[in-house]
Amino acid sequence: MLRELRVGNLALVDDLVLTLEAGLTMLTGETGAGKSLIAGALSLLAGGKSDRQVIRQGEDLAFVEGVFDLGQEESIREKAANLGIRLGSDGILVLRRELKRSGRGRVLINGLISSLALLEQIGRELLAIQSQDQQRLLSQPSFPGDFLDTVLDNDVERERVARALDSYRELQKQYEARLHEEEFARQQLDIWRYQRQELDDAGLTPGEEETLGEKLALGRNSRALLEAAGSAREGLTEGQINARQLLGSAESVLAPLSAESPRLQAILEMIREAGSATSEAAGELERFLDGVDVDPSQLDEMEARKSLYEELRRKYDRTVEGLIELHGALTERISRQEESASDLEQLAAKRDTARLELASAAEALRANRLQGAGRVAALAVETIRPLALGELELEFRIEPDLEPDGVVKVGGRPCRITAKGADQIRLLARTNRGEGLGEVGRIASGGEKSRIFLGLSVMQRRGVRQSLQLFDEIDAGLGMDNAVPVAELLGRLAVDSQVICITHLPTVAARGDNHLKVEKVVTGGRTVVQVVPIPGEARVVEIARLLGGQKSGVKGGTDKQAAYARQLLGKG
């Protein structure tokens, strides 16, 4: 339930703190006193549309804050957790909505900055606000079906339809994509086969092109390389005067004297290292000469092979690794195309099975609706007739939503299917005896639609717990006596809930468990709205005012009206 509502800088509200109780709370006040401001504040708290124009003149920020006690609301706590909202052990949830004259407003949930989308989601669970404007929902095409399914608990059946529809659409999408792919592949198949054969014949191997380059370079320059290597080896170790001999002579001369001078010892070590390196280099040159064995007749073959690599890279604009990958991809495409007929048959079979499941789910939902529609209509009439609609008749008209080109048949007839099924559902009403049935959104007057919507809302929310339900002048257009059943219905609704009713009728206001009065006062030269609880004798005065009393026997009404007010309140 909503424990506390705080409103700041909203229109004529300066800083209002309102403590609320369980049960049925009546909110009254003179015309223009600001009752609608409370409804507007709660709407903002539920994620409703905002308007910067409602920010109090001279202020930059307006806010609405609600403290909800969800300690006994297990289902709402669970939904809050599913939305990622963490509650403490006390079950307290604080929602705050801020409006700024410049810039974007803010949403805070339990002190943390959040989003308007999340506020809307949790707001639907916490607050149900019904005003005369909401009667327009009766005219929306989706309302009758949504209402009927809610009362009949068709959630499982509708979920089955939605899942089946998603499955069918996905399989149809896959089938169409595969069909398009098959048509394109059929045109490309000969090209793919030629390309794969060309790469097959090439027999490309990673690293082969680099190896060929090295061999070709060696083959083209083999004579010059051999002469250079032989000459270098002779100069190092095999000539009459060679580097190894000269280094040996230098070592022989310096060795006897090196002990006398550390510097000579270091030079001697350098000479010895140079001799060792000379021998090692000569050995490498000898191995190089032994390994150069190029057959001139193979050079043409290697040239052709190298050219093949270059041509394929240029033709396909790929590296060698890319060409090898392309070969694998072509093999997969060709194989897939060759198996396309089987793939299409399997996809078509799966799609057709999904279509049958969709039709079956829609038929099951329709059967539930047809079976329960009469009972729901009778219950609705029983609920609404006492609300000054004694001649009311209601009927749900359920017809297939036919679509000549529809691919899904429900009941043997092609239908348009949505996640809500394959039916067109209309709610027909007769409010006056002898008149014909017509769609409730068109045939009923504004006041009649308001009361019909009230009764349907009560039925729709039966078993659905919400922390607060607000009814904004739902009794508008009714006389005092005709409004009594409306108050009784609200009273029954408030037995296990928290209900606020904004009203101007004394017979309704007297039925509340609690009573709040909205009034304007002037403070500091400015008009502000305040809401005050009116217990005891003050409530008698307010009921007398609603009865129309202006003279003073009791302040705010005549003695006769005060007595009637006490009677209505059960005090006389």
* Predicted confidence (pLDDT) per residue in 387-441, tens digit: 888 889 999 999 999 998 888 888 889 999 999 999 999 999 998 887 888 888 7
Max CA distance (Å), the chain: 148
Say if 55 falls within a structural domain: yes
pLDDT by residue, tens only, the chain of 572 residues: 899 999 988 888 888 898 888 889 999 988 888 888 888 888 899 888 888 888 888 888 999 999 999 888 888 888 888 888 888 888 899 999 999 988 888 999 998 999 999 999 888 888 877 766 666 777 888 889 999 999 999 999 999 999 999 999 999 999 888 788 777 666 676 777 778 888 888 888 888 888 777 777 776 666 676 677 778 878 878 777 788 888 888 888 888 887 778 888 888 888 888 888 888 888 887 777 666 666 666 777 888 888 888 888 888 888 888 888 888 888 877 777 666 656 778 888 999 999 999 999 999 999 999 999 999 999 999 988 888 888 899 999 999 999 988 888 888 899 999 999 999 999 999 988 878 888 887 887 777 787 888 788 778 766 555 568 888 877 776 777 777 888 888 888 888 788 898 888 888 888 889 999 998 888 888 888 888 999 888 898 888 888 885 444 444 556 788 888 888 888 64
Distance CA(389)–CA(482), nearest Å, equals: 9
Amino acid letter, residue 145? G
Based on the fold, state whether residues 480 and 557 are members of the same structural domain: no
Say if 131 falls within a structural domain: yes
Say if 361 falls within a structural domain: no
Number of structural domains in the chain: 3
Per-residue tokens: 213: 């380059």
Per-residue pLDDT, 423: 94
Q: Which residue has the tokens 């009865």?
A: 547
Based on the fold, state whether residues 206 and 315 are members of the same structural domain: yes
Per-residue tokens: 92: 């307290």
Based on the fold, state whether residues 432 and 491 are members of the same structural domain: yes
Domain boundary (320, 338, 356) is at 338
Say if 85 falls within a structural domain: yes
Domain boundary (318, 338, 358) is at 338
Based on the fold, state whether residues 324 and 447 are members of the same structural domain: no
Distance CA(289)–CA(551), nearest Å, equals: 132
Based on the fold, state whether residues 109 and 31 are members of the same structural domain: yes
Per-residue tokens: 417: 């299917």
Task: Report yes or no: 489 and 383 within 8 Å, Cβ to Cβ.
Answer: yes
Burial class (CB in 10 A: 0-12, 13-18, 19+), 185: middle
Per-residue pLDDT, 464: 57
Say if 70 falls within a structural domain: yes
Distance CA(30)–CA(34), nearest Å, equals: 8
Based on the fold, state whether residues 17 and 129 are members of the same structural domain: yes
Say if 58 falls within a structural domain: yes
Based on the fold, state whether residues 487 and 391 are members of the same structural domain: yes
CATH number at residue 24: 3.40.50.300
Q: Tell me 56's DSSP state.
A: P
Give, in degrees to the nearest 5, the angle at Cα 176 between 174 and 181.
Answer: 95
Per-residue pLDDT, 295: 63
Query: In the chain, what is the straight-line distance between the N-terminal and C-terminal CA atoms, in Å?
Result: 32
Based on the fold, state whether residues 503 and 553 are members of the same structural domain: no
Say if 452 falls within a structural domain: yes
Phi, psi of 18 (to 5 degrees): -125, 120
Q: Which residue has the tokens 């792919």?
A: 181
Per-residue pLDDT, 156: 94
| Those residues with Cβ within 8 angstroms of residue 171's Cβ, 6 or more apart along the chain or in another chain | 347, 350, 351, 354
Based on the fold, state whether residues 112 and 236 are members of the same structural domain: no
Say if 357 falls within a structural domain: no
Partners of 29 in beta bridges: 518
Per-residue pLDDT, 572: 46
Q: pTM of the prediction?
A: 0.60
Based on the fold, state whether residues 399 and 310 are members of the same structural domain: no
Residue 356 Rama label (left phi>0; alpha psi -120 to 50; beta): alpha
Q: Tell me 548's DSSP state.
A: T
Q: What is the 3-state secondary structure (H, E, C) of 375-440?
A: HHHHHHHHHHCCCCCCCCEEEEEEEECECCCCCEEECCEEECCECCECEEEEEEEECCCCCCCEEH
Residue 431, domain extent: 2-142+385-533
Partners of 429 in beta bridges: 394, 438
Q: What percent of the chain has pLDDT over 90?
A: 23
For residue 507, the surrounding DSSP H or E stretch is: helix 506-509
Based on the fold, state whether residues 414 and 478 are members of the same structural domain: yes
Q: State the Rg of the chain over Cα.
A: 46
Based on the fold, state whether residues 522 and 545 are members of the same structural domain: no
